[in-house]
Structure 1
């Protein structure tokens, strides 16, 4: 069956994937009509398939939770938020921690009572946390040890209630276990509209401060059911052999940070709906990932390309092909084309896939899997049906012809509601329901998209988006710096890392290592430039006297090729 025929068949025969025209905030869309309207309904609807698939539902180290236990914790947490803190519908509640079960429980407890989950990047400094907390207006923060330490200077200033989780449980006046002990489940019925706000996730943009992406329940649920439908499409396009063994229970390994959409949506939320077991890693370790995949019979892994590469090396060293894996996807950054045949050879039983999505699209977007991707590893994939539309626009907003490079622009109910407190930035990218992504690409006669460049000044380091202006703003805080311009430097393992060209003030001296140490107090470690060029005179500029980032990058990389003394 062709892809188009499979889509038409499912739309006509499977009620889960029925669609209808809807009007959202004055704009007409196509959306799923029979899906859960919000996260609380998702938990309720998934109970049957989760029970049928067996226990456990959630694994973290030696901890194992049934689905019933997981939902019970969620209900008690909602009760704590309501009775202890007076949290009401629409109120922001922040989460700042590494991957752990409490993060997932909090996400669902907050959103299923109609409040808004605010995800804070666990790598942020105190300054960065300060910005996001003030921007989101969250005054309740659940945080683990290191995040609690970073939040400590803000508690009195912002009148925060910080609840210690895991290694912070016994270090402050409010502890997670203390609040949960003896607490009663949430017993209220809060009416949640499908277009109510669900979460705020911060995404780096071209401005110096991160943007709070406001996601709705409808956006997230439409993304989840889009991915569920892709699995059904794949089974119709390439049906399993009649004598194929019964498939393993779906088991997903969570390997990327849960404050990012790649982990929360196409892994966690999809895992709930698919009846999957979820195995959570606190942090990435390739050898441990191999052990978990074998022990828990993991079937699906979605991570940044660096993690796929690390997994290959570890599996080869440990002499295993990880036969339970049936799907290895990439998100957060583009996988190097040269990695694809190596993955196919190392993991012959797994479908190797690529995907493109954004925090602004609830991670929904474009993808390609299997043989077609093996044959064309440089492409981004096809638009996932059936609720998305796709255009390619020139700088004036006109649609370009197929095969011509334009800005990738998508329309779907999965798109964000807005950038929090940034109406001008919202208006710049959201026009009549269409989201201008800032990525440049083209589409061929087969509907396959190739991404060629970025309009935005972003460095994607191992899946982390880093705004060049964010880095430059921090570098300029050093009293010896006169000018600074950041850019992407190719890296074999991480894809890209941050480089910066710096001109010092007359008579000033500064060693690159000293600048890196200085930056550690102002920006997260992953944003700190790994390559620093100290230049004389002025940085290159274009005809309008703006800094010429591309020219500087080319100049610095040429210097790097001449010898290490230039960095």
Structure 2
């Protein structure tokens, strides 16, 4: 199976192939890139105007076509130009996943300015930090973010603000979005370079202040084309394996936007891919599993790519079989590893959807790997091969490349890697060596070039000198049918330094005791990896804005006396 995949892969990236790869000097190092990629995001976005009257954005009872979207984005760009925003300036977006988000985003990048993606969950101090770090000259904010900004406005007297979905009476010193739409629908003149910043997305680091990753026009476009490639190469390989005739082109996708647009999962992966294909983006006010199932049925959603826990919530929900989810062709997750048991649950429970995963980082502008369908089922513990614009290797502590099967830190290099971290040359130098991005992930590559993630380098329990990878333990806990959510983390221990702790939220109507769960894990893992401390919690585990479990909160709030 993987031999066929590799053959198709080489055909597609070869000279003259539809995804021909060339080496270009990017940020001072020779790196892999697509030969025929669009030169910048203005060209990328403006080409989608050909999709005309197809629905582009759907939110509650609102629908915006591609033709309408292009008219609006030209007006936004013209308004910003008239207000003095120039190519190279930065413009912040601080709001929920409203339809305006993507319209504002395309307008900003197409006029040569760069987007500053503001985390909608940030409190006043965090918002202050990012505004000082990125120094935007303009900002778009919804009602909640505007209220927070009003409390710190005195620190940013020159920042011009437009309020989105805010009543005139609540505008304060902000301008109304309706005023923006009155500007002429004409693109301002701009000269764009592929290696200039397109957006600044802040990484959700585990320690210290977040870093502003500089995603370029080139890196964002490379990520989008990588996603198209990965879908196409796997589809063609499966067709050849089955001996089937080429099928007609698929209709444009309908994607549910389930994670925040200020992260690469929703913005650079879900939104870019649907936009390029003339598809539809269905927005939600916030994640709700029942509302998600309703929207999938009502809008005939074809793709759900969210953090794995969201797919798990759908599969395990008691009303799962009450909704028609047969429009889904793919279902899976990014932003965190898709556990092997969930791969099989999706494959068994969904009538049409095939499991898929995408492993990536803000620092790679989106995906590093993508894997789906029969390939994923065959290797559910893998996240697939590195995308064609990336070289990948696992290295030891000296930075020396390791052989297949040997565990080390994963490094990648290619055109979809960020330029660096804004205002942080030290952090850039620490994270990127001769173009090689140090992912911080512990992994190994097999003989087919597939990557197997072991854990985050900084997310291990060091128990008496033995490394326990949290993800491995979580996979074992998740394989118990009673478990809905699980997070594994280090618990301080006087004798061993650290012990293994696990917070577990059970499926409604299911029960399991700590001893039974530990025995279940012990049947799959060495004794030193079995959780010493287990907390059964009554509420779903805490998550960050991107849907990932927040282990630090669990470590700080769970009392050792309550563990079993």
TM-score by length of 2: 0.80
Pick aligned residue for 2:381 from 375, 378, 381: 378
On the 8 A contact 1:223/1:364 being kept in 2, the answer is yes
Shift of 1:447: 1.5
Shift of 1:456: 2.8
Q: What's the counterpart of residue 6 of structure 2?
A: 4
Cα distance between partner residues in 2 of 1:230 and 1:131 = 37
Q: What's the counterpart of residue 147 of structure 2?
A: 149
Q: Deviations over 1:319-345 (max 9, x none)?
A: 235111111131011122222222112
- Give the alignment's Cα RMSD to 1 decimal: 3.0
Cα distance between partner residues in 2 of 1:378 and 1:192 = 41
Cα distance between partner residues in 2 of 1:366 and 1:322 = 26
SS in 2 for 1:102: helix
Shift of 1:89: 0.8
Q: What's the counterpart of residue 174 of structure 1?
A: 174
| Most deviating of 325-334 and 339-348 | 339-348
Pick aligned residue for 1:355 from 341, 354, 358: 358
Cα distance between partner residues in 2 of 1:176 and 1:309 = 40
Q: What's the counterpart of residue 342 of structure 1?
A: 345
On the 8 A contact 1:168/1:175 being kept in 2, the answer is no
Pick aligned residue for 2:115 from 97, 103, 117: 117
On the 8 A contact 1:155/1:162 being kept in 2, the answer is no
On the 8 A contact 1:290/1:314 being kept in 2, the answer is no
Matched, 1:426 2:428: yes
Q: What's the counterpart of residue 21 of structure 1?
A: 23
Task: Extract unaligned runs of 5+ from structure 1.
Answer: 469-484, 495-519, 536-555, 563-567
Q: Please list, as runs of the form range in 1=range in 2, the aligned pairs for 1:190-229 lying within 5 A after superposition.
A: 190-229=190-229
Q: What's the counterpart of residue 270 of structure 1?
A: 273
Shift of 1:405: 0.7
SS in 2 for 1:28: strand
Shift of 1:493: 8.1
Q: Deviations over 1:348-394 (max 9, x none)?
A: 31120122100000012012211232233222222122x11001111
Distance 1:363 1:181, change over 3 A: closer
SS in 2 for 1:166: coil
Cα distance between partner residues in 1 of 2:264 and 2:501 = 23
Distance 1:533 1:128, change over 3 A: closer
Q: Please list, as runs of the form range in 1=range in 2, the aligned pairs for 1:493-508 lying within 5 A after superposition.
A: none
Q: Deviations over 1:281-300 (max 9, x none)?
A: 22111111112111211111
SS in 1 for 2:44: helix
On the 8 A contact 1:164/1:171 being kept in 2, the answer is no
| Most deviating of 449-458 and 192-201 | 449-458
Distance 1:528 1:429, change over 3 A: closer
On the 8 A contact 1:251/1:279 being kept in 2, the answer is yes
On the 8 A contact 2:332/2:338 being kept in 1, the answer is no
Matched, 1:320 2:318: no
Distance 1:376 1:283, change over 3 A: same
Q: What's the counterpart of residue 137 of structure 1?
A: 135
Cα distance between partner residues in 2 of 1:88 and 1:302 = 35
On the 8 A contact 1:82/1:186 being kept in 2, the answer is no
| Most deviating of 344-353 and 126-135 | 344-353
SS in 2 for 1:253: strand
Q: What's the counterpart of residue 518 of structure 2?
A: none
Q: What's the counterpart of residue 332 of structure 2?
A: 329
| Most deviating of 312-321 and 58-67 | 312-321
On the 8 A contact 1:169/1:177 being kept in 2, the answer is no
| Most deviating of 172-181 and 54-63 | 172-181
Distance 1:347 1:8, change over 3 A: same
Cα distance between partner residues in 2 of 1:322 and 1:157 = 49
Cα distance between partner residues in 2 of 1:488 and 1:424 = 34
Distance 1:98 1:333, change over 3 A: same
On the 8 A contact 1:139/1:158 being kept in 2, the answer is no
Shift of 1:492: 4.5
Pick aligned residue for 1:102 from 75, 100, 103: 100
Matched, 1:529 2:553: yes
Cα distance between partner residues in 1 of 2:319 and 2:223 = 35
On the 8 A contact 1:205/1:456 being kept in 2, the answer is no
Shift of 1:7: 2.0
Shift of 1:151: 1.1
Q: What's the counterpart of residue 81 of structure 2?
A: 82
Distance 1:492 1:373, change over 3 A: farther
SS in 2 for 1:338: helix
Shift of 1:247: 4.2
Cα distance between partner residues in 2 of 1:252 and 1:122 = 21
Cα distance between partner residues in 1 of 2:391 and 2:246 = 38
Shift of 1:179: 2.2
Q: What's the counterpart of residue 479 of structure 1?
A: none
Q: Please list, as runs of the form range in 1=range in 2, the aligned pairs for 1:458-537 lying within 5 A after superposition.
A: 490-492=503-505, 529-530=553-554, 532=556
Distance 1:169 1:64, change over 3 A: farther
| Most deviating of 137-146 and 307-316 | 307-316
Distance 1:169 1:236, change over 3 A: farther
Q: What's the counterpart of residue 250 of structure 1?
A: 253
Matched, 1:230 2:234: no
SS in 2 for 1:142: strand
Q: What's the counterpart of residue 125 of structure 2?
A: 127
Cα distance between partner residues in 2 of 1:209 and 1:169 = 35
SS in 2 for 1:275: coil
Q: What's the counterpart of residue 91 of structure 1?
A: 89
Shift of 1:18: 2.5
Q: What's the counterpart of residue 482 of structure 1?
A: none
TM-score by length of 1: 0.80
Q: Deviations over 1:209-250 (max 9, x none)?
A: 001000100000011011111222122111285597984432
